[in-house]
Amino acid sequence: MKKNIFVIGLNAFNLEKLKRLRGAEDMEFHGVIEPAAVYDTEEFDIPAMLSEAEAQLSAFDGSIDAIVGYMDFPVSTMLPILCGKFGVRTTSLESLLKCEHKFWSRTVQQEVIPEHIPAFTAFDPFDDKALSRIGEAGLSFPFFVKPIKSSGSRLGFRIDNPEDFDHAIERLRAEIGSIQEPFNFVLDQADLPKEIRQVHGGYCMAEQVIGGRQCTVEGYVHDGEVVPYGIVDSIRYPQVLSFFYYMYPSRLPANVQDKMGELTKRIMSHVGFDNSAFNIEFFWDEVQDRIWLLEVNTRISQSHCDLFEKVDGISHQQVTVDLGLGQRPDMPSREGDYKVGAEFFYRVFFTDATVSRVPPPEEIEAAAAKVPGTFIRSQVHEGMRLSELPEQDSYSYAIAYIWMGASKQSTLLWNYERVLKNIHFEFTDIEE
């Protein structure tokens, strides 16, 4: 009998990768909740989505062997609720929230790795005295602000002066409600300490500015054993906060990678996270030789799937599926066709604009064919405003993703420029 794997928000791109996993011939993959409901919107009706998923799963005539996902909020937070109701494996909702609730996460990190986290405080964006309260907590300019729960750098701002703070507060007050309501629903399902329950989904975090060479440690916990298995470098555009590309494997020094692995094991064991995949974003401040923990995510990075497939031979969705089935992950290493893999973010740095031209499929296919192994996915369509794109940072818009493999980093960059010259987007009504 084939194992039935239910995937929240399953789309065609990821289904093809899942079908190439080890043991996939003995698995049947089923989508739960339409991809558009979790990809193409920033409005999440979690109770309705849970009801839809429960109805589909209850009506299924067969075994439910695993319920998994590879996306951030709201998918990650729905999984413990669904898995608990249908008796399949994942981590507890409380251990997941110790990672995803940014204030709770910093609080538990402070208990075991205080020298590797920045100064932080929570604040209410609707409090007119918020800036002075942040100062009373010991933070001074510059600092970052972000919602207690966000994804994709959404509503995150660097604050260098009071004017920056006023701008951030205006945006946060206008938009944080779309995060607050669904996240509060999830918080209501969990057993929370009183001091954490008071910091609800409408709150924000202020944190000391940290920086350096950024990377992501991908890992999992199986029956209490924390296993980091790969590090991906996150490289930004010069002088801005937006990501340019992710590259695997990391080029950080081996001793730095080893130290990040130790910190990963310490924090994930401390929060009680188990039988699930995760990733942790770190900075290495090369000048001070200091490692900072940026944040913990309670799922694999979907952006890294193709990178692992190119370098290691299969997507690290292998980890998610194996854990969902209660098995130790069977993840290969360096069995792929390339020495390095990357995902590039083709961005425009407008305040807003209307998309007047998107390269047609034949143009995209011809551009990708310039470099074997390249895959291009446009994120926009003609006539849309860039501000309609979900999950964007506060400084740019990613209009296309480009995945590539090569023998070394310099070749990746050279090939990216070759491909980019052959795809053409156009815009009107540009707001600089």
- pLDDT tens per residue across span 386-427: 999 988 888 899 999 999 999 999 999 999 999 999 999 999
Residues 365 and 427 in one domain: yes
Residues 81 and 127 in one domain: no
Antiparallel, parallel or unpaired: β 3-8 and 66-68 = parallel
Tell me what percent of the residues of the chain surpass a pLDDT of 90: 91
Give the domain range for residue 173: 119-208
The reply to whether 91 falls in a domain is yes
Could you give the angle at the alpha carbon of 424 between the alpha carbons of 420 and 427, nearest 5°?
Answer: 130
CA-to-CA distance for 80 and 83, rounded, in angstroms?
5
Tell whether omega for the bond before 360 is within 30 degrees of 0, i.e. cis.
no
The reply to whether 269 falls in a domain is no
Residues 141 and 80 in one domain: no
For the chain, the first-to-last Cα distance in angstroms comes to 58
Last residue of a domain, one of 208, 231, 257: 208
Residue 376 φ/ψ region, left for φ over 0, alpha for ψ in the -120 to 50 degree band, beta for the rest: beta
Query: What CATH number does residue 31 fall under?
Result: 3.40.50.20
The reply to whether 107 falls in a domain is no
CA-to-CA distance for 56 and 50, rounded, in angstroms?
10
Residues 24 and 57 in one domain: yes
The reply to whether 260 falls in a domain is no
Residues 76 and 138 in one domain: no
**For 220-252, what is each residue's pLDDT tens digit?**
999 999 999 999 999 999 888 899 999 999 999
The reply to whether 224 falls in a domain is no
Nearest CA-CA partner of 313 in 1, 88, 22:
22
Please give the DSSP secondary-structure letter assigned to residue 25.
G
Q: Are 296 and 272 in contact (CB under 8 A)?
A: no
Nearest CA-CA partner of 295 in 125, 72, 83, 131:
72
CA-to-CA distance for 322 and 264, rounded, in angstroms?
21
Residue whose structure tokens are 């009071």: 162
Is 384 exposed, middle or buried, given 0-12, 13-18 or 19+ CB atoms closer than 10 A? Answer: middle
CA-to-CA distance for 295 and 281, rounded, in angstroms?
5
Last residue of a domain, one of 208, 228, 251: 208
Q: List CB contacts of 289: < 8 A, sequence separation 6 or more.
A: none
CA-to-CA distance for 2 and 5, rounded, in angstroms?
9
Q: Are 170 and 164 in contact (CB under 8 A)?
A: no
Residue whose structure tokens are 């910190």: 263
The reply to whether 8 falls in a domain is yes
Q: How many CB atoms lie within 10 A of CB 162?
A: 10
Q: Are 351 and 252 in contact (CB under 8 A)?
A: no
Give the alpha-carbon dihedral of 130, 131, 133, 137, to 10 degrees.
Answer: 130
Tell me what percent of the residues of the chain surpass a pLDDT of 70: 99
CA-to-CA distance for 79 and 320, rounded, in angstroms?
12
Residues 22 and 92 in one domain: yes
CA-to-CA distance for 222 and 430, rounded, in angstroms?
50
Task: Enter the tokens of residue 93.
Answer: 């909702």
Last residue of a domain, one of 208, 237, 257: 208
CA-to-CA distance for 128 and 169, rounded, in angstroms?
10
The reply to whether 255 falls in a domain is no
Domain count, the chain: 3
Residues 429 and 345 in one domain: yes
> pTM of the full predicted structure?
0.94
CA-to-CA distance for 65 and 385, rounded, in angstroms?
42
Residues 432 and 348 in one domain: yes
Query: What CATH number does residue 422 fall under?
Result: 3.90.1170
The whole-number pLDDT of residue 152 equals: 64
Written as tens digits, the pLDDT of the chain (432 aa) is 899 999 999 999 899 999 999 999 999 999 999 988 887 677 889 999 999 999 999 999 999 999 999 988 889 999 999 999 999 999 999 999 999 999 999 999 999 999 999 999 999 999 999 999 999 999 999 999 999 997 767 788 999 999 999 999 999 999 999 899 999 999 999 999 999 999 999 999 999 999 999 999 999 999 999 999 999 999 999 888 899 999 999 999 999 999 999 999 999 999 999 999 999 999 999 999 999 999 999 999 999 999 999 999 999 999 999 999 999 999 999 999 999 999 999 999 999 999 999 999 999 999 999 999 999 999 999 999 999 998 888 889 999 999 999 999 999 999 999 999 999 999 999 998
Residues 147 and 79 in one domain: no
CA-to-CA distance for 202 and 149, rounded, in angstroms?
9
**For 41-83, what is each residue's pLDDT tens digit?**
778 899 999 999 999 999 999 999 999 999 888 899 999 999 9
Q: How many CB atoms lie within 10 A of CB 137?
A: 13
Residue whose structure tokens are 């296993």: 227
Q: Are 389 and 410 in contact (CB under 8 A)?
A: no
Task: Enter the tokens of residue 413.
Answer: 């960059």
The reply to whether 244 falls in a domain is no
Q: Which helix (H) or strand (E) holds 291?
A: strand 290-297
